[in-house]
């Protein structure tokens, strides 16, 4: 099931559900203001307790600490119920931030959604 974004310019471009996997496609820079919406949508998704949540960051060029905190919160929530969070298409600038904060060691990262789904 695909739910397109009804709010153009929104950080969450769309949400799809396929065989127990929820895929969120994010877009744009994720800063303090935009991470609020990202958090709301991720909490909504996590309340459904998907087995796997794939967060596609291929259209995200920048993410600040508020975006990172939101990803960590999603990871913690999913672990509480036995789920997992995977990141896909992490651009170099965002990857560098994940590496500096050592979050690259807790988030499985994949080049494509297909790779994440196959793992």
For residues 93 and 91, what is the distance between their CA atoms, to the nearest angstrom?
Answer: 6
Residue with tokens 């196959």: 118
Structure tokens at 4: 């397109």
Find, among 38, 103, 98, 90, the residue nearest to 59 by Cα. Answer: 90
User: In a structure prediction context, what are the per-residue pLDDT tens digits for the chain, which is 119 residues long?
Assistant: 444 444 557 899 999 998 889 999 999 999 999 999 999 999 999 999 999 999 999 999 999 999 999 999 999 999 999 999 999 999 999 999 999 999 999 999 999 999 999 98
User: 50 with 22: CB under 8 angstroms?
Assistant: yes
Domain spans of the chain?
Answer: 2-118
Write down the pTM of the prediction: 0.90
User: 51 with 21: CB under 8 angstroms?
Assistant: yes
The CATH number assigned to the domain with range 2-118 reads 3.30.750.24
């Amino acid at each position: 099931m695909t739910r397109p974004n009804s709010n153009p310019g929104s950080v969450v471009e769309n949400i799809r559900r396929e065989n127990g996997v929820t895929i969120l496609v994010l877009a744009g820079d994720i800063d303090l203001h935009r991470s609020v919406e990202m958090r709301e949508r991720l909490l909504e998704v996590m309340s459904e307790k998907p087995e796997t949540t794939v967060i596609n960051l291929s259209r995200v060029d920048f993410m600040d600490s508020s975006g990172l905190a939101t990803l960590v919160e999603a990871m913690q929530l999913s672990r509480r119920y036995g789920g997992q969070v995977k990141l896909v298409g992490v651009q170099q600038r965002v990857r560098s931030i994940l590496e500096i904060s050592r979050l690259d060691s807790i988030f499985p990262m994949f080049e494509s959604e297909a790779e994440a789904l196959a793992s």
